[in-house]
């Protein structure tokens, strides 16, 4: 696993083996960031379910203004700290359950990166909280990675959805349209 593009391009990332953690493959990460390539620069990014921190670090590498990395697993937090070693850009690493974080968060984001455990409904729950609590800035984006076996339908007005398939992985780009 490595950083695909930007300032830290090629930086190798440490991985770990926790059964509930499935790192995003480099080709899927590249596809994910191709969907938002013109939106990352100077953006406020939320990497929910951070795992190794690979998605958040990719956003940092591509010029995000600040990136929030959230994970509840102590081993994941330790690994993210190692992967963020020597990173000088602004970020906040928070050890907290993703849903708890969202329910008490009063921030707004330009980009939310969601890569929850595939065998859960946490991604859909997170999306609903983000939309209900109006946590996206105008033209904000959620990129949701899930299993192709878990179809996703968004039924909220003022949001558009684009879908891409990469093997067994589905990527959804959910865009908040300007009010």
Q: Is 156's pLDDT higher than 90?
A: no
Q: For the residues 115-143, what does the mean pLDDT come to?
A: 93
Q: Nearest-5° angle of CA 90, CA 92, CA 93?
A: 135
Place 167 in a pLDDT band, splitting at 50, 70 and 90: confident
Place 19 in a pLDDT band, splitting at 50, 70 and 90: low
Domain ranges of the chain: 26-176
* pLDDT given at position 18: 55
Q: How far apart are CA 23 and CA 39, in angstroms?
A: 23
- Which of the listed ranges 18-32, 58-72, 155-169 does the model predict with the highest average pLDDT? 58-72
Place 150 in a pLDDT band, splitting at 50, 70 and 90: confident
* pLDDT given at position 168: 86
Judged by average pLDDT, the poorest of 17-31, 110-124, 143-157, 159-173 is 17-31
**Averaged pLDDT of the chain:** 90
Q: Are strands 44-48 and 66-71 parallel, antiparallel or unpaired?
A: parallel
Class of domain 26-176: alpha beta
> Whole-structure pTM over 0.85, yes or no?
yes
Ramachandran bin of 101, using left for φ above 0, alpha for ψ from -120 to 50, beta for the remaining angles: alpha
* pLDDT given at position 46: 98
Close Cβ partners of 176 (under 8 Å, ≥ 6 residues apart): 136, 137, 138, 139, 140, 141, 158, 159
* pLDDT given at position 24: 61
Q: Is 89's pLDDT higher than 90?
A: yes
Q: For the residues 157-171, what does the mean pLDDT come to?
A: 88
Question: Which secondary structure element, helix H or strand E, spans residue 31, and what is its range?
Answer: helix 26-35
Judged by average pLDDT, the poorest of 13-27, 36-50, 137-151 is 13-27
Close Cβ partners of 104 (under 8 Å, ≥ 6 residues apart): none
């Amino acid at each position: 696993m490595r950083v695909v593009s930007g300032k830290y391009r090629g930086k190798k990332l440490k991985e770990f083996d926790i059964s509930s953690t499935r790192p995003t493959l480099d080709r899927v990460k590249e596809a994910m960031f191709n969907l938002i390539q013109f939106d990352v620069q100077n953006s406020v990014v939320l990497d929910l379910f951070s795992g190794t921190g690979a998605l958040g670090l990719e956003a940092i590498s591509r010029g995000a203004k600040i990136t929030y990395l959230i994970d509840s697993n102590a081993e994941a937090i330790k690994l993210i700290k190692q992967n963020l070693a020597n990173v000088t850009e602004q970020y906040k690493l928070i050890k907290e359950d993703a849903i708890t974080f969202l329910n008490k968060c009063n921030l707004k984001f330009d980009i939310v990166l969601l890569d929850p455990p595939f065998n859960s409904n946490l991604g859909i729950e997170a999306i609903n909280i983000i939309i209900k609590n109006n946590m996206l800035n105008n033209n904000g984006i959620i990129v949701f990675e899930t299993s192709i076996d878990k179809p996703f339908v968004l039924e909220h007005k003022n949001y558009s959805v684009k879908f891409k398939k990469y093997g067994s992985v589905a990527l959804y780009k959910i865009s908040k349209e300007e009010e």
